[in-house]
Each structure stands twice: as structure tokens, then as C-alpha cells.
């Protein structure tokens, strides 16, 4: 636990700062909310899309990798595209490297939107709590 006066890191169970003898407040315990998953789900407080995006990323990465390996290891299977075996192998390497990288960036961008949402909800909750306690919020 950090001392608010000298910012020294103290033991979690300490009641006074070891350097400046400042009285340390015990950390507050979060109240336990007993809401079912379905109540959170239907109130749209529990978002399922971030977990879904992770599954979609894994499946897409498997398909991109399999396609890249297929074009590297057996370019004859892709004769319908009228590309030579060298171009097919180079395309497979590009799919392995760039395809997986672009796919990862796209999925991270989607997850980033949901992370920003969670952060904004957290800030709004904390600001509401401070306003209810009558504390001034400094910008």
C-alpha cells in the first residue's frame, strides 16, 4: 500500500507508513453484486462480442495458415489460378506472414473498441461515485 504523503510502498497490513508515520487507510473492499449471468446479459452489461472475436480470430488464423501452407507445399492444387509454382509459393509465404498479421490487426481493432467501452463505463461509474460522495473532480 502506498503512503499518500511520501509515496513509499508499505506492507498491505501496515497501519502506519514506515518512513513518515502517516496513518494509512485500509483499502476498501468492493461490494459483491449477486446478479445472474442472464440478468447481466439481457441488460447488455455483459458483452459477449469480445470473447466471440477471439474465437473468430483463432478460426480465421487457422484458415489463413492452412491456405498459406497448402499453396507452399502443393502449388499444383492451385493450377486453376494460372499462376506458376513460384508465384504460388510466394503467395503462400505472403499469406502466412502478412495474412495472419493483417487478420490479427483487424481483430485487435475490434476488441479495442470494446475495451474503450469498458474503460468509459469504468470512468463514468467512478465519476458518479465521487459526485455522490460530494468530492470535487479535477480535470
138 vs 67, which has greater pLDDT?
67
pTM of this prediction?
A: 0.58
CB contact set of 53 (below 8 Å; sequence gap of 6+): 107, 110, 111, 114
In our burial notation (b when 16+ CB lie closer than 10 A, e otherwise), range 5-15 reads eeeeebeeeee
3-class SS of residue 16: strand
Name the residue among 51, 39, 97 with its Cα closest to residue 72.
97
Q: What percent of the chain has pLDDT over 90?
A: 23
18 vs 61, which has greater pLDDT?
61
In order, the DSSP letters of 21-43 are: -PBPPPPPPPPPP---HHHHHHT
Amino acid at each position: 500500500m502506498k503512503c499518500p504523503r511520501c509515496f513509499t510502498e508499505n506492507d498491505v497490513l501496515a497501519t502506519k507508513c514506515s518512513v513518515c508515520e502517516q496513518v494509512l487507510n485500509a483499502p476498501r473492499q468492493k461490494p459483491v453484486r449477486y446478479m445472474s449471468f442472464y440478468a447481466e446479459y439481457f441488460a447488455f452489461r455483459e458483452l459477449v462480442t469480445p470473447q466471440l472475436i477471439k474465437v473468430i480470430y483463432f478460426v480465421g488464423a487457422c484458415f489463413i495458415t492452412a491456405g498459406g501452407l497448402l499453396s507452399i507445399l502443393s502449388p499444383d492444387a492451385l493450377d486453376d489460378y494460372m499462376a506458376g509454382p513460384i508465384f504460388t509459393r510466394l503467395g503462400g509465404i505472403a499469406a502466412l506472414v502478412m495474412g495472419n498479421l493483417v487478420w490479427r490487426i483487424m481483430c485487435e481493432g475490434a476488441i479495442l473498441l470494446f475495451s474503450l467501452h469498458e474503460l468509459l463505463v469504468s470512468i463514468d461509474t467512478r465519476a458518479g461515485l465521487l459526485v455522490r460522495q460530494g468530492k470535487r473532480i479535477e480535470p
